Chains A and B, each alone.
Chain A
Amino acid sequence: MRDDPTVIALVQRANDGDAAAWDELVERYAPLVWSICRRYRLDRPDADDVGQGVWLRLVEQLPLLRDPAALPGWLATTTARECLRVRRTGQRRQVHEKPLDETVASGQSPVLEQELLAAERDAALRTAFAALPEQCRRLLSLLIADPPVPYADISASLGMAVGSIGPSRARCLDALRRSPQLSALSDRGGVR
Chain B
Amino acid sequence: MSDDDRLLADLGAAVRRAQEVPPEFLATARASYAWRTVDADLAALTYDSAAEPATTRAPAAGPRALTFASADLVVELEVGPDGCQGQLVPPGPGRIEVHTAGGEVSVVEVDDVGYFAIRPVPAGWFRLRCRPAGGGTEVVTSWVVG
Give me the interface of A with B, judged by CB distance under 8 Å: 14, 17, 19, 22-23, 26-27, 30-31, 33-35, 44, 47-49, 51-53, 55-60, 62-64, 81, 85, 88, 92, 102, 121-123, 125-126, 129, 140-141, 143-144, 146, 169-170, 173, 176-177, 191-192
What is the bound-complex CA distance between A4 and B24, given in angstroms?
Answer: 28
Q: C-beta contact mask, B8-25 vs A, less than 8 Å → 1, else 0?
A: 111111111110111011
Q: Which residues of B contact A23 (CB under 8 A)?
A: 30, 33
User: Which of the candidate stretches B50-58, B89-97, B110-118 sits at the interface with the other chain?
Assistant: B50-58
Interface size bucket, B side?
35 or more
B71 interface residue (CB < 8 Å to A): no
Closest to B141 in A: A60
- Residues of chain B in range 98-131 having any CB-CB distance to chain A below 8 Å: 101, 124-125
A49 touches B124 (CB 8 A): yes
What is the bound-complex CA distance between A26 and B26, given in angstroms?
Answer: 7
A53 touches B6 (CB 8 A): no
Closest to A124 in B: B14
Q: Which residues of A contact B28 (CB under 8 A)?
A: 48, 51-52, 55
Closest to A145 in B: B12
Residues A92 and B60 in contact in the complex (CB < 8 Å), given A56-B143, A85-B51, A192-B3: yes
Choose among A122, A140, A191 the residue that contacts B8 (Cβ–Cβ < 8 A): A140
What is the bound-complex CA distance between A56 and B125, given in angstroms?
Answer: 9
Q: C-beta contact mask, B27-49 vs A, less than 8 Å → 1, else 0?
A: 01110110111100010100000
Closest to B53 in A: A102
Choose among A22, A126, A141, A177 the residue that contacts B33 (Cβ–Cβ < 8 A): A22
Closest to A123 in B: B14
B4 interface residue (CB < 8 Å to A): yes
Residues A129 and B11 in contact in the complex (CB < 8 Å), given A49-B124, A52-B32: yes
Closest to A47 in B: B25
Choose among A52, A122, A170 the residue that contacts B13 (Cβ–Cβ < 8 A): A122
A31 touches B17 (CB 8 A): yes
A173 touches B4 (CB 8 A): yes
Choose among B21, B55, B60, B142 the residue that contacts A30 (Cβ–Cβ < 8 A): B21
Choose among A51, A56, A144 the residue that contacts B15 (Cβ–Cβ < 8 A): A144
Residues A52 and B10 in contact in the complex (CB < 8 Å), given A47-B25, A59-B32: no
